């Protein structure tokens, strides 16, 4: 784990050529440092890399090598961040290889299924919105992050009364609590058998960027995420980096899930005028002023905003999951000043890369 205002994290990576379309020189300096010293030597064969990843990653998420679902139904009720509308969400057990999907329930209309996949993303303004056949589900990232972080591969998510997942306390902590109340169990298919859980192994770099913001991934023997934020005009936030390596559900629960969403005080009226953050308050979001600092301390972590951005990244990349494998690949993913839009753009590039290679290992 790493966080600093003054430097980027020293991490392992190989001297890897980047894509032809490049971010700014400042962003490139971060990427170059990350790629400077890889634990995967350039002389290693692909089979050796995959073999090492397989032996290491079997302990990353859980002891079981079978897909999981929740054991019983869990319910949460709350208000959406942007709509301000109340909604009831039920997490329901699902069969193996069904994946994670939303079910929009309407009293007078048939239910609509919206699979939680990146191709169903229709809006990324300050949150991630999914849509299908005219139905939308807004602000899915915190719930999706909790499901991915705790290793829930298959889940039916019923939402009623609104089209936005409740913000709750602004973090993923209450979703983690809901999943823990339900418990985890092996997901079984219609024949009553468990099904293997696989993960993709990245074999070459992927980079997407916009200006000096980027999301990149590098080959790694295990899953690791690094996030950087930079708010030069908000000294209380400033430049921060946070590194996280999944070591089991408890690491996500304690190190990532409690980090709350945040906003800049001087921007709030403009956002409200645009029809956003109608359900936001000091009870469900951190607010920081450029001059006065945090308006509703204390923070749960010194680097809570940076951790929350990593939480969002996990939730957005959870949309890369497919039946039988999680959204996060075996790779080192690095993001700097990225938005939901850039997260999703990277997710689409990752899926395209995976479809070409099919580098799968059982975890």
- If asked whether residues 168 and 217 sit together in one domain, one would say no
Please report the pLDDT score of residue 21 as a whole number: 37
Token pair recorded at residue 87: 């909604």
Please tell me the distance from the alpha carbon of residue 247 to that of residue 60, in angstroms, as a whole number: 5
Q: Is 130 exposed, middle or buried (0-12, 13-18, 19+ CB in 10 A)?
A: buried
Please report the pLDDT score of residue 90 as a whole number: 99
Task: Return the CATH number at 218.
Answer: 3.30.1700.10
Strand, coil or helix: 101: strand
Task: Return the CATH number at 155.
Answer: 3.30.230.20
- If asked whether residues 341 and 246 sit together in one domain, one would say yes
Please report the pLDDT score of residue 22 as a whole number: 40
Please report the pLDDT score of residue 31 as a whole number: 59
The contacts of residue 174 (CB under 8 Å, 6+ apart) are 76, 168
- If asked whether residues 233 and 339 sit together in one domain, one would say yes
> What is this structure's pTM?
0.84
Indicate whether 6 belongs to any domain. Answer: no
Token pair recorded at residue 132: 């299908």
Domain count for the chain: 2
- Last residue of one domain, picked from the residues 128, 158, 186: 186
- If asked whether residues 123 and 80 sit together in one domain, one would say yes
Please report the pLDDT score of residue 154 as a whole number: 98
- If asked whether residues 355 and 239 sit together in one domain, one would say yes
DSSP 298: P
H helix or E strand, kind and range, residue 350: helix 340-357
Strands 286-289 and 262-264: parallel
Indicate whether 238 belongs to any domain. Answer: yes
- Supply the range of the domain harboring residue 83: 68-186
Indicate whether 3 belongs to any domain. Answer: no
- If asked whether residues 158 and 303 sit together in one domain, one would say no
Query: Among 167, 152, 157, 178, which Cα is nearest to 115's?
Result: 157
Please report the pLDDT score of residue 38 as a whole number: 37
Q: Kindly report the backbone phi and psi dihedral angles of residue 29, in degrees, each rounded to the nearest multiple of 5, phi listed first.
A: -65, -35
Please report the pLDDT score of residue 272 as a whole number: 95
- Last residue of one domain, picked from the residues 186, 217, 241: 186
- If asked whether residues 182 and 317 sit together in one domain, one would say no
The contacts of residue 198 (CB under 8 Å, 6+ apart) are 324, 325, 360, 361, 362, 363
- If asked whether residues 138 and 215 sit together in one domain, one would say no
Which residues of the chain fall below pLDDT 70? 1-64, 357-363
């Amino acid at each position: 784990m790493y966080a600093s205002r003054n430097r980027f994290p020293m991490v392992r990576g190989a001297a890897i050529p980047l894509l032809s379309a490049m971010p700014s020189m400042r962003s490139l300096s971060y990427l170059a440092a990350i790629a400077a010293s890889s634990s995967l030597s350039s002389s290693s064969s692909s089979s050796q890399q995959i073999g090492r990843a397989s032996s290491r990653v079997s302990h990353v998420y859980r002891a079981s090598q079978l897909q999981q679902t929740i054991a019983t139904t869990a319910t949460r009720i709350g208000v959406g961040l942007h709509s301000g509308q109340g909604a009831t969400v039920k997490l329901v057990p699902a069969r193996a290889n069904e994946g994670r999907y939303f079910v929009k329930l309407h009293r007078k209309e048939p239910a609509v299924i919206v699979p939680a996949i990146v191709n169903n993303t229709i809006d990324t303004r300050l949150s991630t919105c999914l849509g299908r056949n005219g139905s939308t589900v807004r602000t899915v990232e915190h719930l999706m992050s909790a499901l991915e972080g705790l290793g829930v591969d298959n889940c039916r998510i019923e939402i009623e009364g609104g089209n936005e997942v409740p913000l709750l306390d602004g973090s993923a902590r209450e979703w983690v609590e809901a999943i823990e109340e339900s418990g985890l169990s092996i997901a079984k298919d219609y024949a009553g058998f468990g099904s293997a859980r696989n993960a993709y192994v990245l074999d070459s770099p992927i980079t997407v960027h916009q200006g000096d913001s980027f999301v990149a991934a590098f080959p790694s023997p295990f899953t690791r995420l690094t996030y950087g934020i930079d708010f030069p005009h908000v000294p209380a936030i400033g430049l921060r980096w946070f590194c996280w390596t999944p070591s089991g559900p408890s690491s996500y629960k304690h190190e990532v899930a409690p980090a709350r969403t945040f906003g800049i005080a001087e921007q709030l009226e403009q956002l409200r005028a645009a029809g956003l953050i109608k359900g936001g308050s000091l009870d469900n979001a951190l607010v920081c002023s450029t001059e006065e600092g945090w308006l509703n301390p204390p923070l749960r972590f010194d680097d809570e905003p940076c951790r929350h951005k990593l939480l969002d990244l996990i939730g957005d990349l959870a949309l890369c999951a497919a039946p039988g494998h999680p959204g996060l690949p075996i790779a080192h993913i690095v993001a700097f000043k990225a938005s939901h839009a850039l997260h999703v753009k990277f997710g689409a590039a990752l899926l395209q890369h995976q479809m070409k290679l099919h580098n799968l290992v059982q975890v």
